[in-house]
Amino acid sequence: MSNMSSMEKADLLKLVGKRIKEIRESKGLAQLDVAVRMEGNIDTTNISRIESGRTNPTVYTLFRISQALEVPMSDLFNIEYSNSMQDEV
Amino acid sequence: MSNMSSMEKADLLKLVGKRIKEIRESKGLAQLDVAVRMEGNIDTTNISRIESGRTNPTVYTLFRISQALEVPMSDLFNIEYSNSMQDEV
DNA sequence: CTTTGACATGTCAAACATGTCAAGTATGGA
DNA sequence: TCCATACTTGACATGTTTGACATGTCAAAG
């Protein structure tokens, strides 16, 4: 997710979704496990839609997912500007 | 944004909004400047609502804002792993 | 072959984000 | 005071996310 400057909506959603799935699987969790851990009502339908990039989730939904996965929200964006600055225009 | 585990929706939205405003002002930009730099149609109304935490923005909207502000998306969440102190709670 | 688990996908309704315009507030300067 | 800039707030239409449920697919197990 380094050169985000020219990214389109569909690409962003796919990347975020893939990242969420990656984290979830690395923790050995099923979508249902995440749903159960999330605050408020949710079912796996929405998690599936988010992971496949078919929906444009709100920040609160992403927040609840990051809570359930026990990672900071920044992890969902997999941002590592380790060596450079962002988009020096 | 420490101890996010017990945060409620309204608090999350207020924090993110405050952080966006903080970054925007640190760059000497007006809401209108951000709107103009953002992809797609937008005016300052939505930016105002997001900054005041009155709406729950989608990830794509936050993405466009981070682009306009020329910061990585993680900056919008004020990740504290870097140099600042950790979770003083 | 049937069952079970995990996930994708379709539909529906309710709630909500966004975009747009208009009007209001506040501040600072001429 | 008047005017301009910056931002907030209300109302509304439009589109989309979300939650709920049903169904489809696929693989593994029995």
pTM of the full structure: 0.86
**In this structure, what DSSP letter does residue B70 have?**
T
Residue B36: CB atoms within 10 A of its CB come to 13
Selected residue of A42, A59, A67, A79 to mutate for chain B interface (largest B Cβ count, 10 A): A59
Q: Are B38 and B65 in contact (CB under 8 A)?
A: yes
Q: Over the stretch A32-89, which tens digit does the pLDDT of each residue have?
A: 999 999 988 778 999 999 999 999 999 999 999 999 999 999 999 875 443 333 433 3
Q: A4-8, A12-16, B54-58 — which is least confidently predicted?
A: A4-8
Domain borders along chain B are 28-72
Which amino acid is it at B88? E
- Cα(A73)–Cα(B74) distance, rounded to whole angstroms? 7
**Structure tokens given for B81:** 């792993």
- Residue B7, both tokens: 């945060």
Enumerate the residues of chain A whose CB falls inside 8 A of the CB of residue B72. Answer: 4, 77, 79, 81, 86
